[in-house]
Homo-oligomer: A and B are copies of this chain.
Amino acid sequence: MKLSIIVIGDEILLGQVTDTNSGAIARTFDPLGWQVASVSTVGDDPRVISDAVNRTFDSSDFVITTGGLGPTKDDITKTVLMENFGGHLEYDESVAENIRRVFALRGLKLNASTEAQAMVPSSCRVIQNLYGTAPIMWFERDGKVLVSMPGVPFETEGMLPEVARQAIQHYQSELRLMHRSAMVTGITESALSERLEDYERNLAPGLHLAYLPTPGLIRLRLDGQAKATDTEFEQVFNLAFEKLRDELGDYLIYDGDATAAEILLDMLRRHGLTVATAESCTGGSIASRITAIAGASDVYAGSVVSYSNDVKNRALGVAADDLATYGAVSRPVVEQMARGVCRLTGARCSMATSGIAGPGGGTPEKPVGTVWMAWCVDGRVESREFHFPGNRARVIDRAATEAMLQLVNQIRNHE
C-alpha cells in the first residue's frame, strides 16, 4: 500500500510552525507495512491544494491531508475537496453534537464560525473527531481513499489509531516491511560505516542498513522488505540484527529505538538507582527531557537549575571561594554541584553541568561551547571538560545528551 501525505497551511510553508503531523502519520502506518511514498507541504492556496490532491491521489493508494479545517477564514480545504470529490455542503447533526460536546468539556461558548464546522461535504463519510471540533472526512473514488484530518497535532495524533484501523479494514497489505533499531554512541558516523562495511556488503537481499545520526547518538536502523508470503523472512531479518549487535560491541548503548533520557531511565531502573540534576548551562533541559517520560518520578528526585552563582552557593553548597577562584565553569564547581544535589535530594546518582552556551560570555581560555560536567554515583565523583560546536541551542542540546549518556557509561562501568 502506497500512502501519501499532504500537509496544508501557510504557517507550515513559511516555517512559522514545524510540521509534526506527517511524522506521526508515518510512524503509525510504517510499522503496518505501508509504504510512505511522499509528503507534500502546501500553503492555503485553493489551486495549489487542488493540484497536490490530484497529483498525489493518482499516484497513491491512500492519501491523508492535515490542516486547513479550523473555524477561521483562512481555511479552504473543505471547498477544494468538494471540487475534487463532488457533492455539496450539508449540515451533519452528529458533527454538531460533537462540537457541542467538545465546547461543553472546555467550558466554552459556541459561536457561529464554530457551528459552520458542522457543514460537511455530502460526498464524504465523517469519522467523529474525539479530540476537537473539526470533523475527519473520508472520501473515496475508484476504490482509493483520501482522508482529511485536522492540523492540530493533538487531534491528529489522537485520531490516527482509528483512521489506521479503518484504513486496514479497507485495504489488504501485500508487502511486509520490518524495522529494528540500535542506538550507538562514542563513534563517528563515518568510522562506524567503515567498521560495518563488510557487514553491509554481505546483507541478504531485501535488507538495508540506515544511519540516522543525532547529536551525540547514532540510530542504526535495519530495514527489511519482503513479500507477505515469504514466511522465512522474519528469521533472516532477526539473524541479521543479532549479527549487527555483535559487530557493534561496546558502541551499542541500547537495543531498540530510544532517546538518551530513555536509555538513562532504563539503566537506572535496572540498577535500582535514583538520580538528580544540577544544571547551570543546560538550564533545566536535562530535567525536562527526563520528566517528559511518563513514570520518571520512580527514579528522578529533582533538579536545581543554578543559573546564578548565588543559587550554586545557597542551594547546592558550592564554596563561594571556589566560585571566585576557579569561576563557575570549572572542575571544582561542577564536582561540588554534583555532590550538593545528591545531598539536597537524597538521590544516589547525579549529574551537574556548567558551561558557556553562548553567543556571549566566551573568553580565550573558556570559549563558547566549553562545558564542565560532573557525575556522582554512590558518592564517587567523576568530572570532565567538553567543547561543543555550534549555536546556543546546539550546545545546550549536545551537553544535555552527553551528560546523560556519560552517566549511563559510569553506571555500566560501576557494575
Contact = CB atoms under 8 A, between A and B. Distances in A.
Contacts of A11: 210, 212, 221
B36 A38 contact: no
Contacts of A74: 208-211
A72 B213 CA distance: 11
A63 to B, nearest CB: 14
A287 B99 CA distance: 36
Copies of this protein in the complex: 2
A278 to B, nearest CB: 10
A244 B71 CA distance: 19
Nearest to A43: B36
A249 interface: no
Interface stretch (A234-242, A298-306, A404-412): A298-306
Contact of A283 (B43, B189, B290): B290
A277 B23 CA distance: 33
Contacts of A231: none
Interface string A270-311: 000000010100111111101110111100111111111011
A11 B212 CA distance: 7
Nearest to A11: B212
Contacts of A297: 307-308
B13 A39 contact: yes
Contact of A154 (B279, B296, B394): B394
Contact of A291 (B284, B315, B346): B284
Given A10-B210, A287-B284, A292-B392, A48 B38 contact: yes
Given A113-B193, A194-B112, A212-B16, A304 B307 contact: no
A128 interface: no
A345 interface: yes
A7 B18 CA distance: 14
A37 B41 contact: no
A111 interface: yes
B71 A190 contact: yes
Contacts of A209: 73-74
A64 to B, nearest CB: 12
A41 B22 contact: yes
Contact of A38 (B14, B41, B105, B311): B41
A72 B38 contact: no
A302 B311 CA distance: 7
Given A16-B27, A17-B212, 6 more contacts: A15-B30, A38-B40, A38-B42, A71-B193, A152-B213, A283-B288
Interface of A: 7, 10-20, 22-27, 30, 36-44, 48, 52, 70-74, 105-106, 108-109, 111-114, 131, 152, 154, 157, 179, 188-191, 193-194, 200, 208-214, 219, 221, 223, 257, 277, 279, 282-288, 290-292, 294-297, 300-308, 310-311, 314-315, 344-346, 357-360, 389-394, 396
The 7 A-B pairs of least Cβ separation, nearest first, read A283-B291, A284-B287, A15-B23, A15-B26, A284-B284, A39-B41, A303-B305
26 contacts: A7-B39, A11-B210, A14-B27, A15-B22, A16-B23, A16-B219, A17-B212, A18-B18, A38-B42, A39-B39, A70-B213, A73-B193, A74-B208, A105-B389, A277-B305, A283-B288, A283-B290, A285-B288, A288-B396, A294-B357, A301-B308, A301-B311, A303-B304, A304-B315, A310-B346, A315-B344
